[in-house]
């Protein structure tokens, strides 16, 4: 017997699939609770034995990597992290493939709510096409057939496993609520009538944003057709009218000044340094005067990192198919926003919001990093009125 659906198109899990998925959760929990602290201690010990270049406060990442590379703990940590990621995608993929025909049928029968627009001639940006991002087989853009929803279903199923349910349970919508909290914190006067999310994946954040701005027209773009077909069906079955299109965030087909709010969640670290600049420029073009850009990112900054944090970032870059991770978390995002023409540009840690703020609630921006899933790193700015 399968478990009940969390939402109308979420893949269900049999008893054995639940057991497989819970093993992945347990393994990731073991890494976080046992292996990470041990490697943190080791990295500090090794760093204390290494020379530090003049003007630097700690050894370089290359020195640190070499210093721990012979340690069985470090090697086991690397292999266990990678194995857990591979098992997560396998568990999600097996579950989806068992019921893919049913999921395709559910998607095809979804209500006529919102729209989805795909492009058979779409060219995936080279920096995404070159690898399976965060080891997702086929990445976002693989499209096994012109009609199926497999990649979206796999992403949705795996997302809660990846975060151990700490990003809004299986709805995985915390980042959307945090975007709303940030806008209301920094730009309380913003009138939101048209919204665009860049890199919307399955629309989990977009649904949350749309529900907080029910009168707004809400658009989402991504590079994967199957991802967007699933996102559209998911939103329609939830009764949220969203409009999805297959586009590159560096150069969209929307007219100048089309939106009041343009945002992304955890997208910048998956794009190249050149692409980030182009995305910021495109955000500026797409916003009407007085409109707001927001980009939410992982709560990790190289300038605030300790030695273990840098090894963790190194793992993402070298072993988890996130080649731009260190570059993104080292970039001066506020300065890039200013260079793109934004006023009131600022970057800092934003309190996470499990639900969007109600009257009188306060989710601080610019304070300390409270840790993963309790804070996000956000850059935002406003297009000049004149």
pLDDT in tens, 145-163: 889 999 999 999 998 888 8
- Whichever domain contains 300, its CATH number is 3.40.50.150
Tell me which of 6-10, 22-26, 39-43, 108-112 is least confident. 6-10
Helix axes 61-68, 36-47, angle to 10 degrees: 110
CB 288 within 8 A of CB 319: no
Domain count, the chain: 1
Phi-psi region of 382 (alpha: psi -120 to 50; beta: other; left: phi over 0): beta
Does 310 map to a domain?
yes
Q: Residue 248 has which token pair? A: 């590159």
Strand order in the sheet with 365-367: 115-117, 242-246, 217-222, 194-198, 259-265, 287-297, 375-383, 342-351, 365-367
Question: What is the average pLDDT across 213-231?
Answer: 97
Strands 194-198 and 259-265: parallel
Rounded Cα gap, residues 190 and 182, in angstroms:
12
pLDDT tens digits, 252-269:
999 999 999 999 999 999
Q: Residue 270 has which token pair? A: 């998956």
Rounded Cα gap, residues 102 and 105, in angstroms:
5
Please, which pLDDT band fits residue 5 given cuts at 50, 70 and 90? low
Rounded Cα gap, residues 221 and 241, in angstroms:
14
What is the helix (H) or strand (E) element at residue 91, kind and residue range? Answer: helix 72-98
Q: Residue 353 has which token pair? A: 């919001």
Rounded Cα gap, residues 294 and 344, in angstroms:
12
Rounded Cα gap, residues 210 and 212, in angstroms:
5
What is the helix (H) or strand (E) element at residue 210, kind and residue range? Answer: helix 204-212
Has residue 186 got a pLDDT over 70? yes
Q: Which residue is it, tokens 């749309």?
A: 210
Question: What is the average pLDDT across 84-103?
Answer: 96
Does 33 map to a domain?
no
Better-scored residue on pLDDT, 325 or 4:
325
Better-scored residue on pLDDT, 386 or 188:
188
Counts of helices then strands in the chain (DSSP H, E): 14, 9
pLDDT of residue 4: 54
Following DSSP, what letter does each residue of 318-331 receive, concatenated? HHSS-TTHHHHHHS
Question: What is the average pLDDT across 308-316?
Answer: 94
Full domain range(s) for residue 300: 157-383
pLDDT of residue 332: 97
CA 124, 127, 130, 136: dihedral to nearest 10 degrees? -80
pLDDT of residue 341: 98
Does 6 map to a domain?
no
Please, which pLDDT band fits residue 103 given cuts at 50, 70 and 90? very high
Does 191 map to a domain?
yes
Q: How many CB atoms lie within 10 A of CB 208?
A: 25
Does 126 map to a domain?
no
Has residue 359 got a pLDDT over 90? no
CB 326 within 8 A of CB 368: no
Has residue 299 got a pLDDT over 90? yes
pLDDT of residue 1: 35
Does 38 map to a domain?
no
Three-state DSSP class for 117? strand
Does 264 map to a domain?
yes
**Positive or negative torsion for Cα 219, 223, 225, 226:** negative
Q: How many CB atoms lie within 10 A of CB 137?
A: 13
Q: What are phi and psi of 40, to 5 degrees?
A: -60, -45
Please, which pLDDT band fits residue 277 given cuts at 50, 70 and 90? very high
- Strand-pairing partners, residue 117, are 245
Rounded Cα gap, residues 368 and 370, in angstroms:
6
- Cα-based distances in Å from 141 to 57, 137, 386: 41, 10, 39
Has residue 2 got a pLDDT over 60? no
pLDDT tens digits, 238-247:
999 999 999 9
Q: Which residue is it, tokens 């920094």?
A: 186
Q: Cβ neighbours of residue 218 under 8 Å, at least 6 residues apart? A: 194, 195, 196, 197, 206, 209, 210, 241, 242, 243
Q: Residue 24 has which token pair? A: 């992945």
Better-scored residue on pLDDT, 171 or 96:
96
Q: Cβ neighbours of residue 163 under 8 Å, at least 6 residues apart? A: 172, 373
Q: Give the side-chain half-sphere CA count within 13 A for 329.
A: 24
Does 353 map to a domain?
yes
pLDDT of residue 162: 83
């Amino acid at each position: 017997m399968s478990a009940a659906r969390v939402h109308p198109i979420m893949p269900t899990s049999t008893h054995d699939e639940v057991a497989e998925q819970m093993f992945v959760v347990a393994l990731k929990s073991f890494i976080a609770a046992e292996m990470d602290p041990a490697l943190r201690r080791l990295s500090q010990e090794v760093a204390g034995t290494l020379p530090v270049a003049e003007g630097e406060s700690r050894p370089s990442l290359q020195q640190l990597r070499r210093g721990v590379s012979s340690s069985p703990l470090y090697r086991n940590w690397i292999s266990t992290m990678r194995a857990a990621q591979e098992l997560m995608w396998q568990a999600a993929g097996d579950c989806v493939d068992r019921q893919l025909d049913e999921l395709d049928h559910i998607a095809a029968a979804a209500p006529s709510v919102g729209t989805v627009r795909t492009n058979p001639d779409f060219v995936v940006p080279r920096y995404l096409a070159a690898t399976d991002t965060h080891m997702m087989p086929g990445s976002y853009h693989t499209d096994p057939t012109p009609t199926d929803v497999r990649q979206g279903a796999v992403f949705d199923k795996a997302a809660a496993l990846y975060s151990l349910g700490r990003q809004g349970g299986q709805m995985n919508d915390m980042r959307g609520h945090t975007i709303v909290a940030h806008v209301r914190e920094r730009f309380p006067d913003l009138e939101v009538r048209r919204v665009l999310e860049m890199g919307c994946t399955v629309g989990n954040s977009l649904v949350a944003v749309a529900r907080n701005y029910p009168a707004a027209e809400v658009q989402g773009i991504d590079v994967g057709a199957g991802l967007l077909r699933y996102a559209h069906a998911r939103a329609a079955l939830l009764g949220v009218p969203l409009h999805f299109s297959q586009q590159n965030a560096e150069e969209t087909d929307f007219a100048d000044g089309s939106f009041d709010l343009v945002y992304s969640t955890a997208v910048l670290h998956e794009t190249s340094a050149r692409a980030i600049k182009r995305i910021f420029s495109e955000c500026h073009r797409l916003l009407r005067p007085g409109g707001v850009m927001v980009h939410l990112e992982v709560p990790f900054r190289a300038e605030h990192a300790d030695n273990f944090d840098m090894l963790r970032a190194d793992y993402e870059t070298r072993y988890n198919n996130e080649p731009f991770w260190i570059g993104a978390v080292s970039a001066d995002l506020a300065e890039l926003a200013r260079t793109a023409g934004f006023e009131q540009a600022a970057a800092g840690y934003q309190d996470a919001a499990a639900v969007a703020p109600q009257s009188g609630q306060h989710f601080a921006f610019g304070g300390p990093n409270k840790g993963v899933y309790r804070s996000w790193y956000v850059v935002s700015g406003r297009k000049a009125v004149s």
